[in-house]
C-alpha cells in the first residue's frame, strides 16, 4: 500500500517525526499561570453578577406607580416654577471673601468660644434633670366621715322634699290674700279712704262723683294698686 499525505520527508526514518514538527504546538502568554487564579475568580464573580442582572428589589412594582406619578408632578412643578427657589442677599458674593477672611482671623485670635458653664455642670446635669422631673407633691386626700356624709345626704333629701311645700305655701298665701281683698266691698273701701285717706284721695273722689251714675267707685283700680296703697298707709 502506498502512503499518501504524509508529513514525513523522504529522507526521514519511518519511526521519527520531521525536525520541524518536533516542537510543542501550544503556547501561553508570559505570566499566564501567575494570574490564572485571579482571572478565574473574576470570571466566577462576573457570572454571578450576570445571573442577577434581571432581578428587581422587593416591592419594586408596588411602589412603581407612586414613583412615576411623583416624577410627573416634579416635572410639572419645574415647568410651572421657572426659578430655582433660592436667593441670596444683595452684594452677598461681593462681601463673601471679606467675611471668610474675617472669620479665619477671628478663629486665629479667639481660641475660646466665649461661653462658659459652671463647674461640674455636665456631671450633675443628669441628676438635676431627674430630680426636677421625678419630684412629686403629695396631695392630701380628705375623706368625709360616714356620719357627715349621711348628714349631707339627709339635708339634700330634706331640701328636695321641702321646696315643693314652700312653693305651694306661697301660692296658697297669695290666693288667700287675693280672696280676702275680693271679699271687701267697695263701700267699706270708700269709708276707709274718707277716714284715713289724704287730700289727694279726697280730691280724686270728688273728681269722680260726677261719674257715680255711670260706674261704680273704684272700678278702674286694680287689686294690686289697692294692696299697695294699704301697705303704704297702714
pLDDT tens string 130-175? 777 765 666 666 665 656 666 667 777 766 666 766 666 666 555 5
Residue 117 falls inside a structural domain: no
Identify whether residues 173 and 194 lie together within a single domain. no
Do 178 and 206 reside in the same domain of the chain? no
- pLDDT in the model for residue 164: 66
Residue 201, exposed/middle/buried by CB under 10 A (0-12, 13-18, 19+)?
A: middle
Q: Is 143 helix (H, G, I), strand (E, B) or coil?
A: coil
Rg (CA), the chain: 62
Return d(Cα 21, Cα 128) in angstroms, integer.
Answer: 97
Residue 219 domain flag: yes
Residue 169 within a domain: yes
Mean pLDDT, to the nearest integer, of 115-134?
80
- Provide the domain limits for residue 158: 146-183
Lowest-pLDDT range, 80-84, 192-196, 199-203? 199-203
The answer as to whether 216 is a domain residue is: yes
Distance CA 211, CA 74 (A): 100
Contact status, residue 190 vs residue 217, Cβ threshold 8 Å: yes
Q: Are residues 197 and 223 in the same domain?
A: yes
Identify whether 201 is part of a domain: yes
Instruction: Answer yes or no: is 223 within a domain.
Output: yes
Longest dimension (CA), the chain: 190
User: What average pLDDT does range 102-127 have in this prediction?
Assistant: 79
Mean pLDDT of the chain: 71
Amino acid at each position: 500500500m502506498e502512503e499518501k499525505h504524509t508529513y514525513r520527508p523522504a529522507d526521514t526514518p519511518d519511526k521519527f517525526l520531521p525536525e520541524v514538527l518536533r516542537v510543542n504546538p501550544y503556547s501561553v502568554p508570559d505570566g499566564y499561570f501567575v494570574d490564572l487564579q485571579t482571572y478565574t475568580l473574576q470570571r466566577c464573580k462576573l457570572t454571578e453578577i450576570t445571573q442577577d442582572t434581571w432581578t428587581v428589589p422587593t416591592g419594586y412594582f408596588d411602589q412603581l406607580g407612586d414613583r412615576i406619578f411623583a416624577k410627573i408632578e416634579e416635572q410639572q412643578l419645574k415647568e410651572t416654577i421657572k426659578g430655582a427657589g433660592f436667593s441670596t442677599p444683595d452684594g452677598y458674593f461681593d462681601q463673601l471673601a471679606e467675611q471668610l477672611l474675617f472669620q479665619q482671623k477671628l478663629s486665629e485670635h479667639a481660641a475660646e468660644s466665649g461661653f462658659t458653664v459652671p463647674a461640674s455642670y455636665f456631671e450633675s446635669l443628669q441628676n438635676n434633670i431627674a430630680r426636677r422631673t421625678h419630684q412629686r407633691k403629695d396631695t392630701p386626700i380628705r375623706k368625709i366621715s360616714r356620719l357627715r356624709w349621711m348628714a349631707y345626704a339627709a339635708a339634700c333629701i330634706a331640701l328636695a322634699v321641702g321646696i315643693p311645700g314652700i312653693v305651694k305655701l306661697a301660692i296658697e298665701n297669695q290666693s288667700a290674700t287675693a280672696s280676702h281683698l275680693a271679699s271687701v266691698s267697695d263701700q267699706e273701701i270708700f269709708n276707709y279712704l274718707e277716714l284715713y285717706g289724704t287730700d289727694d284721695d279726697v280730691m280724686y273722689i270728688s273728681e269722680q262723683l260726677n261719674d257715680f251714675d255711670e260706674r261704680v267707685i273704684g272700678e278702674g283700680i286694680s287689686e294690686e294698686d289697692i294692696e299697695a296703697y294699704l301697705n303704704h298707709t297702714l
